[in-house]
Amino acid sequence: MADLFDSSPAAPVEPAHRPLADRIRPRHLSEVIGQRHVLAEEAPLGAMLAAGSLSSIILWGPPGVGKTTIARLLADATERSFVQISAIFTGVPELRKVFEAAKLRATQGRGTLLFVDEIHRFNKAQQDSFLPHMEDGTILLVGATTENPSFELNAAVLSRSQVIVLERLNLTDLELLAQRAEKALERALPLKGPAREALLEMADGDGRALLNLIEQVAAWKVKEPLTTEQLSQRLMRRAAKYDKSGDEHYNLISALHKSIRGSDPDAALYWFARMLEGGEDPRYLARRFVRMAVEDIGLADPQAQTQALHAWEIYERIGSPEGELALAQAVIYLALAPKSNAGYVAYKAARAEARRSGSEPPPKHILNAPTRLMEEQGYGAGYAYDHDAEDGFSGQNYFPETMKRPLFYSPVERGFERELKKRVDWFAKLRDKRGG
């Protein structure tokens, strides 16, 4: 009787029509296209296999980069039974059967590599159920996920696994994959050079998507190789991968924020456009622009906050797509504005000092004395009214009497803060002069 859930067939079966992806599936890890940073001899997986000490791993990467293929080949390389399940379709009863079958295999001297696709979709209890079987060697777990394991997987599972990061396929990788497909099809794709490049770009780094596109193109009966325009008429461009609540969302907003902080308007516009094309809510971007203006520009250009708020207001009034132009102009303004986080740093430092100093009272000379008792306690005594002082500045101390005067705000020599720095330095000199 065949092992339960064991995908290793007892004898090869040749279906009537095998998908192209299955026909050109690598038979050895050295045949895998791309991912040399993890498969090479000195790379993490290569080193583990060479040492004969393969541990449980989590394969993290975008769709179509070889996670399932690598898992199958790891099972072959370590002479383990390959068992594949999907977290989408597997519940607790099915997991129990998988573990029981693995235990039976272990008694027969054969290990089990359990490949769990979309492992991040298992809840905490389901993920915890793997732990005892990982620890006693019943299974070697290979999980696959498109989501950041740091956020989606239990700490206990992560501590017993090594996270292997897989990368989207580049154009060179996709070209090699296309050549392998043409060899299996025994004919070249009916495409001119630019059209071929366009086809590779349509795959957007996804090898599985490319093979599906190639199967469509190879089935066409055309007399002459197609141009890029003819190809685009027959094929819809694949939508860019973008999950408004997943890794792509956070990766792209990080790229946009850092491009603005780095004063690169072209890069900032590119990531802004990428997010809009992916379906991001422009209101979310408008809020982030206000935050960037406050956090990264601050008082170096006080108008940056106004520009960001006005762009947000314009979008709210006229909506898409016209309102997005106002947001694009805000992107350009913020990117080119002088940068300073001095106000942000000062705020955080003041909050930290407030937590440290606890309940230290203000000095009595700056407290109001609305009652006679408070006057008798010295409230307000010795207060110097700044408008009566020379230059409108008394230089008095406003910190708690037991606290050494700290320095929170240090303006930079950029933009409007250059003027603020002159004022800070001027007041500091007067304060020293007047013994404040």
9 pLDDT above the threshold of 50: no
237 pLDDT above the threshold of 80: no
What pLDDT band is residue 7 in, cutting at 50, 70 and 90? very low
Which pLDDT tens digit goes with each residue over 60-96?
998 999 999 999 999 999 999 999 999 988 888 899 9
Mean pLDDT over all residues of the chain? 88
Q: What is the mean pLDDT of residues 375-383?
A: 80
239 pLDDT above the threshold of 80: no
Which pLDDT tens digit goes with each residue over 241-279?
555 556 678 889 999 999 999 999 999 999 999 999 888
pLDDT score of 234: 86
Shortest CA distance to 416 belongs to which of 268, 305, 330?
305
Per residue, what are the HEC states of the chain? CCCCCECCCCCCCCCCCCCHHHHCCCCCHHHCCCCHHHHCCCCHHHHHHHHCCCCCEEEECCCCCCHHHHHHHHHHHCCCEEEEEECCCCCHHHHHHHHHHHHHHHHCCCCEEEEEECHHHCCHHHHHCCHHHHHCCCCEEEEEECCCHHHHCCHHHHHCCEEEECCCCCHHHHHHHHHHHHHHHCCCCCECHHHHHHHHHHHCCCHHHHHHHHHHHHHCCCCCCECHHHHHHHCCCCCCCCCCCCHHHHHHHHHHHHHHHCCCHHHHHHHHHHHHHCCCCHHHHHHHHHHHHHHHHHHHCCHHHHHHHHHHHHHHHHCCCHHHHHHHHHHHHHHHCCCCCHHHHHHHHHHHHHHHHCCCCCCHHHCCCCCHHHHHCCCCCCCCCHHHCHHHCCCCCCCCCCCCCCCCCCCCCCCCHHHHHHHHHHHHHHHHHCCC
> Which residues, at least 6 apart from 351, have a Cβ–Cβ distance to it below 8 Å?
none
Amino acid at 184: A
Which pLDDT tens digit goes with each residue over 203-225?
888 999 999 999 999 999 888 99
281 pLDDT above the threshold of 60: yes
> Which residues, at least 6 apart from 390, have a Cβ–Cβ distance to it below 8 Å?
none
374 pLDDT above the threshold of 80: no
pLDDT score of 74: 96
Which pLDDT tens digit goes with each residue over 14-48?
454 678 888 999 999 999 999 999 999 899 999 99
pLDDT score of 245: 56
pLDDT score of 242: 56
Which pLDDT tens digit goes with each residue over 320-334?
888 999 999 999 999
Which pLDDT tens digit goes with each residue over 119-164?
999 998 899 999 999 999 999 999 999 888 988 899 999 999 999 9
What pLDDT band is residue 394 in, cutting at 50, 70 and 90? confident
